[in-house]
Amino acid sequence: MMNRKWIPVIAIGVGVVLLLAGWIFAPAPTMDSEALAAMSPDAVTGAFYNWYLDYMDSEVLCHPLLDGAYRSSPYLSTALIAHFDSLVDQACGYGLPADPFLCTKGLPLHISVVPLSSTDKAARVLVRGSYPTESEVITTENLAEVTLVREDGRWVISGTTCR
């Protein structure tokens, strides 16, 4: 029979494990509609890319495009989500031929977003990634040009073009 003094310790341990599991396997961040509507195209792009990199660099050890985490992202257009659904279905579990956001095989240490153009309905930004080299010097490369559109009163990513 279990000693009753261990019950609170076990309960706390189970609670911590469940809390960490919820944090590690959390879907894309949710924000209220006012906060999303207030974000600029470069802020939306930066928020998405930071979530994307954090997701792939976490304990999940999965890609957000292959496990469906992208579907709950408030930063992607409904058309882009449908496009990725089609790509993932066609991949049949074998993975995508290239990462449409990073355009490389490695994870950058840091990303930066440079606004390129913007109108009331569409915007373009450049995403740059910083990588260490063998000589421990950080180099920065253009990763992708990201297009955004207004959808439901807020900016969302509608496509990427590798650079």
**Looking at residue 24, what is its pLDDT?**
42
Dig out the tokens for 113 from the structure: 């977003």
Residue-wise pLDDT tens digits, 151-161: 999 999 999 99
**Looking at residue 12, what is its pLDDT?**
42
Q: Are 65 and 52 in contact (CB under 8 A)?
A: no
% of the chain beyond a pLDDT of 90: 48
**Where are the domains positioned within the chain?**
36-162
Give the residue from 77, 74, 70 showing the smallest Cα distance to 121: 77
Residue 8 pLDDT exceeds 50? no
Position 26 confidence tier, pLDDT thresholds 50, 70, 90: very low
Centroid of chain to Cα 90: 21
Yes or no: domain 36-162 corresponds to CATH 3.40.50.300: no
